[in-house]
Amino acid sequence: MVPTTTEYERLLRDSALRVTRPRLAVLAAVDAHPHADTDSVIAAVRAELGEVSHQAVYDVLRALTGAGLLRRIQPSGSVARYESRVGDNHHHVVCRSCGTVADVDCAVGEVPCLTASDDQGFEIDEAEVIYWGLCPDCSTAPPS
């Protein structure tokens, strides 16, 4: 279930990325905290490695996202969040009240899982779906 460091190394090498401690730590952090924002990732990485520059984490997140090892999501009104679950084209449900993000399986699985009624001449390669609503906690507890 939990990938080993060796597994992370293989992922990096397969993407032609150098294996460095910050990169391994970021991969482990995002695996451990899905939908974590950059600050949380920085905190998790520092908890494991000690002082690491925020710039390094930004660079790593961008490199890993570009390589397809991580996926970046950014619901309106939220900072960037990252997850390691890639390749299955799943979607997300976001709480309007507290911002919590949860995964929702895509019924189709392959991209693009939806075809536009009129694609306006665009070459569409992905349909990103964000469900908006209230999480179980916020829907039972009325807004204060």
d(CA 63, CA 80): 15
Site for its own copies in 78-117 (CB under 8 A): 80, 91, 93, 95, 102-107, 112, 114, 116-117
Question: What's the min distance (Å) between Cβ of 62 and its own copies?
Answer: 11
Q: How far apart are CB 96 and its own copies at their closest, in Å?
A: 8
The reply to whether 124 sits near its own copies by the rule CB under 8 A is yes
Cα-atom radius of gyration of the chain, to the nearest Å?
17
Least Å from the CB of residue 3 to its own copies: 24
Here the tokens at position 41 are 């990732």
How many residues bind to its own copies according to rule CB under 8 A? 39
Residues in touch with DNA (CB under 7 A): 13, 17-23, 37-39, 51-56, 58-60, 62-63, 74, 79-80
* CA distances from residue 56 to 35, 42, 45, 46, 67 in whole angstroms, order as listed: 19, 9, 10, 11, 16
Give CA–CA dist 69/95, Å, rounded. Answer: 26
Q: How far is the CB of 123 from DNA (least distance, A)?
A: 24
143 part of the interface to its own copies, by CB under 8 A: no
- What residues from 25 to 84 belong to the interface with its own copies (CB under 8 A)? 72-74, 76-77, 80
Q: How far apart are CA 64 and CA 11, in angstroms?
A: 10
64 CB-contact burial (10 Å; exposed 0-12 / middle 13-18 / buried 19+)? buried
Helix or strand or coil: residue 108? coil
* 32: partner contacted, choices its own copies, DNA, none (Cβ within 5-8 A by kind): none
Query: Which residues of this chain interact with its own copies, rule CB under 8 A?
Result: 72-74, 76-77, 80, 91, 93, 95, 102-107, 112, 114, 116-136, 139
